[in-house]
Structure 1
């Protein structure tokens, strides 16, 4: 292994440690605890070492968010590839999205609610965002009917996100989560249901 290859490997490993430590700290103490000084202390690097990899806190959070979208993509793909009837697949995708958000609340915040420079819905959007959206899109394609598939996917994504945020903030009745999710799926698959009846 050349000196250059070893250096690149070390840099990638340090970057991985910074992202991993950021996630652990955020999940255990919240995003307010994540500062470059605190990260430097946690991983025992100097702040200048952190700045060799990231230009600041927002860039670190953006890297965490992109990693999260990669993980969400895998979770959705696993569900989408199951041999399920179309409505059951939409329901399973919805549940997988909700489960991901519940299991990773701070990661979800970084992905969807924090003010970081992530461009959604554009050709120049980062590939992890495009991939996560594509998994939902593919899962909805059998139920699209005469509707625009991208718009249907955006409405589904927005509905799930709204349920996540309102549930997390305690603004919805905790005893009716499955009923709400079933109603969301029913509305998304509604055109196909009417067409077959």
Structure 2
């Protein structure tokens, strides 16, 4: 291994250690408690060393957010649903998405409630054309197109429908994260009822001429 490759590997190792520490602090104490000094203390680095690898705390946060969001996208994209009816694809994908979000509550809040320009490049999905540019929304959009393929509904209607389903699900997830003392059975009922209402509404719209 050459000197250049070794230095690059060392750089990546140091960056990864910093990111792991920052992620741990966010999970344990919340995003507002994260600081360069706290990361430095945790991994026994000086703050100056951390600034050598990251421009500022914002860059560390944005890197973690993008990683976690990409994890969600990979999970949704890997779902084996090709043999399902489109409405069942939506049910399964929504259920899996909710489960994944609830398994990483602090990370989820940090990702989806972040309004920095850099993060919104990956997470915004209410703009026109989002169904093409956002993989997560596209999964839902394509299933809706299958359902409505025999209807004279434009792409804009289908995209708007996907956006509303997505944001409604986002709202439920946030409330379940915030109201964390809800009994597990009630949580299951809420999730099931939400998904049923979403899919039943989609099917109902299909029957309207």
Q: TM class, shorter-chain normalised?
A: 0.7 to 0.9
CA RMSD between the two structures? 2.8
Question: Hey, what does 1:106 align to over in structure 2?
Answer: 106
Unaligned runs of at least 5 residues, structure 2: none
Question: Hey, what does 1:41 align to over in structure 2?
Answer: 41
Please list the CA deviations of residues 137-187 of structure 1 after superposition, one character each: whole Å capped at 9, or x if unmatched.
33443234515333222222211111111222229x762312122212322
- Structure 1 window deviating more from structure 2 (158-167 vs 177-186): it is 177-186
**2 CA distance for matches of 1:164 and 1:83?**
27
Q: How does 1:4-153 map to 2 (within 5 A)?
A: 4-79=4-79, 81-117=81-117, 118-119=119-120, 120-121=124-125, 130-145=134-149, 146-147=153-154, 148=156, 149-153=158-162
Q: 1:3 and 2:3 equivalent?
A: yes
The TM-score normalised by the length of structure 1 is 0.82
Q: Structure 1 residues 11, 78: closer, same or farther in 2, change over 3 A?
A: same
Q: How many residues align?
A: 191
Give yes or no for contact 2:27–2:107 (8 Å, CA) kept in 1: yes
**1 CA distance for matches of 2:58 and 2:104?**
19
Question: Hey, what does 1:191 align to over in structure 2?
Answer: 205
Question: Hey, what does 2:174 align to over in structure 1?
Answer: 165
The TM-score normalised by the length of structure 2 is 0.78
The structure 1 residue matched to 2:193, chosen from 164, 179, 190, is 179
Shift of 1:76: 0.7
Q: Structure 1 residues 25, 189: closer, same or farther in 2, change over 3 A?
A: farther
Unaligned runs of at least 5 residues, structure 1: none
Larger radius of gyration, structure 1 or 2?
2
